[in-house]
A and B are shown apart, each in its own frame.
Chain A
């Protein structure tokens, strides 16, 4: 597919045409950003904030890997080590992974993908960003000035009775951030239900929208439970009430039940949006309809539902009833089915597809490989007997990093590369992107595969010191993490570079289907001049591929003269020409 010209610099050459008005250049004041109700601007605000939080979480991770190079680390005190892994977990889970894709790409794309001008509640969306920032500042303050050593799980009674660190401030921050994601979830649900463009039926929705819908259901139904549970920990610490404290006959396992009722579905909050991105990217670059669209859509819903029924598998080795454990183990095996359906369908889509190997697709394939490993090792942990051996070891750490980093972050990177031209209006350097994808893949496996071996050999997680025989694998892991870090810093640099020096992006650089590619890059503030009418299924790539074969398809449109935006439409999709008779108000 290398014959497709990827030379979007044709627009705007020589400054003959000024940039058309879009959501980025419509106003430049600080308050126009901080008080915006535009979902696209809020997405950009979120993108900046979560990138900063990711950096903090990454620094904590680097600290952990530095400490674990030697069996008896003297670089950090053990207290500091505990605070490092707690900070890493709390920042990455609550302030990066949970909001990452929904609040950035989801916020940006969801209304556009369904042909709406904005989310249903634009000001609630802005409020959600402020809540996130408030929680993030509180948590970062608490971590920088004192820290917290409970781990991201805040297990009772350590968190309420024994820990002498900033538990209250951190929990309040997480609590507030929880309301920020609830606000996003409510917004998405209502928007998908009620604001789809005419003709956009449920089974014409892009799979990314299905994934966001399933994610929002989990957010709305799960987050309040963890919020109240953490609130009770705060009340125990502050007022001395006792709900989970075994000293009062309270049951710490009840805390774990309520905590994991959210926190297990929360891993699907992290992975489902990535899965949605992968479906988009793979269909586009295989130039094929996604194989078994309905199955992929329903598997998202099945994961959302089943995800609520497996929380007990985090407590197999606690005092949880063994009968309970059996049922949870069984349902945990069941949830592998919808996950596998997705992997099979993506593979089947790529099979005999007309694959155009671009960096988003490389990230997506990396996702499939790593998610498969992460998912299959999850089945080891779902088996009751095996879990007794593997629980609380590095095997668990490796497993969930394969799913969270290998899955969620590779998916996020795939989506970021795929939609970067749409969001910023600039192309990134493809060669560097390809390079960073391979570096990340290698660095990631080097970091986390040794941890499977460590865990299987019995190294417990969260320990500062370990027997010397584990040192080799730990050094490999630490070395890999520096490779991974390089792989993540490169995109940071070329994305920033592209903002100024990147070639101007055409409205549809990939020849992709979907409403977001029918509007200019970057989109105008109101998204659509006329409400689009949808007349075909998502991923109807046959026409595009046929046009490409015949040589009469180009990803580059002619420069558009100023003032002619109203007539603007993508040359690829005559079926979606704005219909002036449908113009509203």
Chain B
């Protein structure tokens, strides 16, 4: 339950010249932010479509490939992000009530969590680079590809899995084999994995920059942040980053793990 109140502690907000009332201004900021988040949803949506398409076309290869991911680190990161989302919501609440110290505390925890997330991601990425799981010419797959798997994927999806050779060569290599295509399918999974988590990580970095700027502005009592709206909008963005991960974690790390 929540209360609708004109809270005495809420700091007065300044009205920009193009608006008529503070309610209109607040709603415009929130709707504007949501409209921006809609573009972000479509942005990540295209990647989720690509993941879904390739997962449905190469189920076996994708299942094998994703078993190389560290599901525990993923779990830790989900926990970290959920926590940071909670503290971000609390930061907005504190800011709205004008509780400066609490705002700084909760914003601080959110930023620490964001760094923690990137730290865990760094550990994961390092392991994957060590094992040559980063796509490109150096991509390697240590586990053997079982022929039945290869057959299954190829037969079911012959129209997609056209046996075209590797990048940069204009003719079929003499040693071209279906196994190589199997290798490349795993590379495909890791391409999507790195693109999706990389872009998400990029959004986390942007979030750190925004939240840290707000933290400093509040710390030095800058007049821009007398209003709670900047914190509210940064919070919306941060929750969105959390939502992306809420879908990324099960779809990339968990599904097919049996």
Known A-B contacts A241-B135, A241-B136, A249-B160; the reply to A228 vs B46 at CB < 8 A is: yes
Known A-B contacts A189-B35, A190-B31; the reply to A242 vs B160 at CB < 8 A is: no
Instruction: Tell whether, in the assembled complex, residue B39 and residue A220 are in contact, meaning their CB atoms are under 8 Å apart.
Output: yes
Stretch from B79-87, B90-98, B105-113, B161-169 contacting the other chain: B161-169
A58 interface hit (Cβ, 8 Å): no
User: Interface residue tally of chain A, by bracket?
Assistant: 35 or more
Chain A nearest Cβ from B229, distance in angstroms: 13
The A-B contact count (CB < 8 A) is: 130
Instruction: Tell whether, in the assembled complex, residue A250 and residue B188 are in contact, meaning their CB atoms are under 8 Å apart.
Output: yes
A–B complex contacts, Cβ < 8 Å, 24 sampled: A117-B17, A120-B28, A182-B36, A182-B39, A186-B35, A190-B31, A190-B35, A194-B27, A221-B38, A227-B43, A228-B43, A228-B199, A240-B135, A240-B136, A240-B167, A242-B187, A247-B167, A249-B57, A249-B161, A249-B188, A250-B54, A250-B188, A251-B57, A258-B49
Which 8 pairs from chain A and chain B are nearest by CB?
A: A240-B136, A248-B184, A241-B191, A224-B43, A224-B42, A118-B18, A241-B135, A246-B164
Chain A nearest Cβ from B74, distance in angstroms: 20
B255 interface hit (Cβ, 8 Å): no
B11 interface hit (Cβ, 8 Å): no
How many angstroms between the C-alpha atoms of A368 and B44 in the bound complex? 39
B251 interface hit (Cβ, 8 Å): no
Chain A nearest Cβ from B135, distance in angstroms: 4
Known A-B contacts A122-B18, A194-B24, A242-B184; the reply to A247 vs B164 at CB < 8 A is: yes
A239 interface hit (Cβ, 8 Å): yes
Residue of A232, A240, A531 with highest tally of chain B CB at under 10 A: A240
Instruction: Tell whether, in the assembled complex, residue A242 and residue B32 are in contact, meaning their CB atoms are under 8 Å apart.
Output: no
Contacts of A319 in B (CB 8 A): 159
B141 interface hit (Cβ, 8 Å): no
Q: Which of A244-287 contact B (CB under 8 A)?
A: 245-251, 254, 257-258, 261
A421 interface hit (Cβ, 8 Å): no
Known A-B contacts A249-B185, A251-B53; the reply to A195 vs B38 at CB < 8 A is: no
Interface of B is mostly: helix
B50 interface hit (Cβ, 8 Å): yes
A161 interface hit (Cβ, 8 Å): yes
Q: Which of A298-356 contact B (CB under 8 A)?
A: 319
How many angstroms between the C-alpha atoms of A249 and B54 in the bound complex? 9
Chain B nearest Cβ from A329, distance in angstroms: 20
How many angstroms between the C-alpha atoms of A446 and B195 in the bound complex? 48
Residue of B43, B159, B194, B199 with highest tally of chain A CB at under 10 A: B43
Chain A residues proximal to chain B, CB less than 8 Å: 116-122, 161, 182, 185-187, 189-190, 193-195, 220-225, 227-229, 232, 235, 239-243, 245-251, 254, 257-258, 261, 319, 531, 584-585
Select from chain A the residue with minimum beta-carbon distance to B183.
A248
Instruction: Tell whether, in the assembled complex, residue B135 and residue A249 are in contact, meaning their CB atoms are under 8 Å apart.
Output: no
Instruction: Tell whether, in the assembled complex, residue A193 and residue B31 are in contact, meaning their CB atoms are under 8 Å apart.
Output: yes
User: Interface residue tally of chain B, by bracket?
Assistant: 35 or more
Instruction: Tell whether, in the assembled complex, residue B188 and residue A242 are in contact, meaning their CB atoms are under 8 Å apart.
Output: yes
Instruction: Tell whether, in the assembled complex, residue B43 and residue A225 are in contact, meaning their CB atoms are under 8 Å apart.
Output: yes
The residue that B58 contacts in the complex, of A194, A195, A246, A249, with Cβ under 8 A, is A249
Interface of A is mostly: helix
Contacts of A221 in B (CB 8 A): 38-39, 42
Contacts of B49 in A (CB 8 A): 254, 257-258
Contacts of A116 in B (CB 8 A): 18
Instruction: Tell whether, in the assembled complex, residue B38 and residue A228 are in contact, meaning their CB atoms are under 8 Å apart.
Output: no
Contacts of B194 in A (CB 8 A): 241
Chain A nearest Cβ from B170, distance in angstroms: 8
Select from chain A the residue with minimum beta-carbon distance to B193.
A241
Contacts of B38 in A (CB 8 A): 220-221
B256 interface hit (Cβ, 8 Å): no
Q: Which of B220-253 contact A (CB under 8 A)?
A: none
How many angstroms between the C-alpha atoms of A243 and B61 in the bound complex? 15
Chain A nearest Cβ from B195, distance in angstroms: 6
The residue that A248 contacts in the complex, of B45, B53, B168, B188, with Cβ under 8 A, is B188
